[in-house]
Structure 1
Amino acid sequence: MDKSVENIDISAGTVELLTHLREHGPMTRSEIGTATGWARPTVNKRIDELTAIGIAQPLTMPSPTGGRPAQGFAFNPSCAHILAIDIATTATTIALCDLDGRPVLVRTVSAGAENEPDETLDMICGAADAMLTGKLASRTDTGAVIGNDEVPVTVNDPATTDEGITATATPRLFAVSVAVTTRVETVTGNIIQAPVMQHWENRHLREFFADRYHVPAFIENDANARALCKAYQLAADGEHIVPHLLYVHAGMGLGAGIISSGSIMHGAFGAAGDIGHIHVFGRIGEHSLCRCGNTGCVEATAGGWAILPALQTQGKPVHTLDEVVELATHGDIETVQLIRQAGRLIGDVISACVNMLNPSCIVVGGELSHCGELLLNGIRERVWARAQPLATKSLRIESCNDEARTGIVGLAYVAIDQGLTSLEMLQDFARQQ
């Protein structure tokens, strides 16, 4: 450990200063003192603590009076990285994100929730280890497309070794953040009651990743992570976050992420947002058997795992939701009818959520959202018809067009929101210097 940081004692005041720099941008010593009321020696001590561990950095700021430039200090998001791991049904996206949530390095592996846990975890860790050690095959690995952007597979300072492998500076890790396609028990981080990930139940993923990478690990439901990303992304000017937002995942199953008062709503045990198992309103689907064992759950009629066999029964050659979307967008009558029906059923459930939660924004993601207005029109129709006027007064409903990036960035925010405001995590980070 560097002797200059050996005796650093991160305090609650130091965490407060970091929050000021993150929210307000670069500040001078005088501005910090004015904002906090701290005496100059206290300001100096806390600045020194943040700069010693690299999470703040000095910079020159123009003088407001036009005189000599002043020395300021800014949050340094590139000082460490979040390892974000988004475990989807058939594939997993792995990324290194800086402490502003920006992906700087992305890989995808062809194993996910449907595979055996050991197989998927081995592939995830192999890819993550290569990213963290800077050993990436530059001749064959071209990056991963996240949204509309291609994220490079190399980070700072690349150099080619004799083996033709790109060697990069080893990224410093702050935390691991993992998304799964089911509900997560809040206290333990364990996967529970998971039809999609039944072989993963009671796998201690939090402990697995924390022990492997020696940093804190966070396990979150994928819809919750995406909801958090969208809440930050869609914030209006002067707004830090959209305080009340509902993210609806319409894929093989149905689920939701809820942002309430600026935070993810988990409920008492982590089961909040499980809207796929709300009983349908009306006769359509009321007797359909759901994967959970009940009948009449909305996802048993409007989820992808119900739509696929319905189309196959009609003789349609579909095996994936991408093929369903393709049929719908090309105007196949039976597919269009099923998607519109799914939109109305999902809209019924969302209207009940609107009356209860009063979000200002609803974002619809998942594979079925790629059907665009075919799905959204049915959702909007039922929400405007069934939700109360006060709850829909300024409500906007839109689709998520950058889902891969949304998941990764949302995972980074999960770790950032908890880690950069945690005295314990910053003290651990300081000890790792």
Structure 2
Amino acid sequence: MHDIRWIRDNPDAFDRGLARRGLEPLAGKLISLDETRRALITKLEQALARRNAASKEIGQAKAKKDETTAQKLMAEVAELKESMPAMEAEEKAASAALEKELAQIPNLPLDDVPDGKDEHDNVEYRTWGKKRNYAFAPKQHFDLGEALGQMDFELAAKLSGARFVVLQKGLARLERALGQLFLDTHTEEHGYTEVNPPILVRDDVMFGTAQLPKFAEDQFRTTNEFWLIPTAEVPLTNLVRESIVDEDKLPMRLTACTPCFRAEAGAAGKDTRGMIRQHQFTKVELVSIATPEQALAEHERMLESAEKVLQKLDLHYRVVTLCTGDMGFASRKTYDIEVWLPGQNMFREISSCSVCGDFQARRMNARYRGKDGKVKGYVHTLNGSGVAVGRALIAVMETYQQADGSIVVPDALASYMGGVKVIAK
């Protein structure tokens, strides 16, 4: 959510930021809505002040036994009381109209974010590792998994429909092992606090992290009006909603491994085979709550934390800085980590790490106070995948496949796999 006061003071800068996102100028429209709202507030305040003053004047007139003046004042007070509910309703409607407009506007990109229209304009930031050479044509994960008899999409379709999978035996354990490795690394080495949050949340929680109202169609909703979380970013970030956090507790670093649910409404025809784009998947999430001064350094630290788990698995990847046309709605700057998939012969996203400024904090009303006890402003929020467990499973399967279709278990997972070194049919 944007600060309308900042927009009033910086209309040109606001519109320039929107233009970098490919959007039309909106400052004028928003300022006009705000002027209407403020005028109605002033009108209501003046009416209230006049009502209070007239009430006092009634007593003064009666003390002087000036019944004529008292009756006129009483009529004025009655008229004000009768008209004020309509004024209040008008002011609330104007405020709601402004809030609705502000809630639909994406965050503004930082100055160092590259301009561009889509993923083709993203800029490579760094790479790690190298492509492996195979003495055979590497297969895609779904071919490997189905041949092993441990990855079943048809069985999942009988249960739930398309974009679901049933994992069994070694692959089911391998996915669980990946989640445990990621959590252990982030909690023991990177200083994140593990959280086991609810995965059903209310409207205002989804609004706080900006999934609502704009992206409602991408979400799953229960019949009793809960939302299934699309990422643990939602409950983790909202842990500080409607609160004031002490500055000495920041940055607050949180992590969780949860099921995630996405309707994939805009993904018709994309990645219809395999586990790349599922309605239900597991992901380890990283969230930081920081001061404005800490946020940019925390962004780089979060990225490095996500990279570390891929390095432990010896997976080749690259980091790209997303351009203005490919950034998420709430982000001011995003790094994507793309892991190399030999079977697909391409990089695929496995993590996004974003710094959001105070955009989400304003929607959540999450602030912080200094050591002097005074509230200093809104916190800054960051989120990132640390990393997507299902996509990490895909990367491990395709990277560590052997000519006979078996999968070698990476050394980093040995302690989680109960002595299993190779997953074979």
Same fold by TM-score greater than 0.5: no
TM-score scaled by length of structure 1? 0.24
Higher relative contact order (CA 8 A, sep 6+): 2
- Structure of greater Rg: 2
TM-score scaled by length of structure 2? 0.24
